[in-house]
């Protein structure tokens, strides 16, 4: 199976006045990614609206099949690549911090709601999701979906590995001074659970938040295959199933587990 060329779009900075701003930027990023042969483009957490929304998130949230979703699906189909994007999802009276994935034909592949909420903004305005493992298939590769703070817990990542996830998508809005997450924790999660992690962060400053950038693709062999700087950037890396098989054969963490000893964890 051929490698899956994966692009991470770290941008644009700031809170847009309307989703049309981020959709236009997304269309440009999709065009560049497709020109580079990418089959998957991942944006950051709450990409469609910006992160520092406060109470306005309640007004800007939309349904999973809302106008933003229709526009992203059209961009995916136009450029022939899958797109995962963060957005505030409304369902009845609840709002979720969500990640939606459309395939290269514009069909919806998956929708995930963040299960581990971070900080006062998120815990005040969002309802936590309750489905820990959401997956989809793309070009023969099993993708898994998490968001930001989720990946800082070993349990959700390990749950994905045990469920067969090979590439974990993790859009994020990581602020300074927590650069240890993309520098150390994300590569460690990829190593200990033997999967790839695509970690797409925001950049710049929004309100009280200054984001760390440093989006990356971490591989199961402990290497980082691509890394962004601090500003707006499109980074591209190949997710190689052959490397994944070789790494799992050499590093047998998943096979050597003894779950009967870990019952106190739950």
Active site residues: 45, 114, 148
Rg (CA), the chain: 17
Instruction: Specify whether the CB–CB gap between 83 and 28 falls below 8 A.
Output: no
Local structure of 182: helix, strand or coil:
helix
Say which residues have a Cβ less than 8 Å from residue 122's Cβ, sequence separation at least 6: 97, 114
CA-based nearest residue to 6, from 140, 184, 186, 197: 197
Sheet-wide strand order for 4-10: 108-113, 94-102, 82-91, 40-42, 4-10, 233-239
């Amino acid at each position: 199976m051929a490698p899956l060329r994966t692009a991470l779009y770290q941008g644009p900075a700031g809170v847009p006045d309307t989703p049309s701003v981020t959709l236009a930027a997304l269309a440009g990023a999709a065009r560049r990614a497709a020109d580079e042969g990418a089959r998957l483009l991942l944006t950051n957490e709450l990409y469609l609206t910006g992160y520092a929304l406060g109470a306005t998130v309640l007004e800007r949230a939309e349904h999973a099949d809302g106008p933003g979703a229709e526009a992203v699906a059209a961009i995916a189909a136009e450029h022939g690549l899958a797109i995962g994007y963060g957005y505030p999802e409304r369902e009845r009276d609840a709002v979720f911090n969500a990640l939606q994935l459309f395939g290269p034909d514009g069909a919806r592949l998956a929708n995930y709601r963040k299960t581990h909420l971070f900080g006062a903004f998120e815990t005040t305005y969002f309802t936590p999701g309750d489905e820990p493992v959401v997956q989809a298939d793309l070009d023969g590769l099993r993708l898994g979906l998490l968001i930001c703070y989720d990946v800082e817990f070993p349990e959700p990542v390990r749950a994905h590995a045990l469920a067969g996830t090979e590439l974990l998508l993790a859009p994020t809005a990581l602020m300074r001074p927590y650069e240890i997450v993309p520098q150390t924790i994300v590569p460690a999660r990829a190593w200990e659970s033997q999967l790839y992690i695509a970690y797409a962060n925001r950049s710049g400053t929004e309100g009280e938040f200054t984001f760390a950038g440093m989006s990356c693709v971490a591989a199961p062999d402990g290497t980082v295959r691509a890394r962004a700087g601090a500003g707006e950037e499109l980074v591209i890396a190949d997710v190689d199933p052959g490397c994944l098989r070789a790494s799992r054969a050499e590093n047998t963490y998943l096979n050597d587990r003894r779950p009967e000893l870990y019952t106190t964890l739950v």
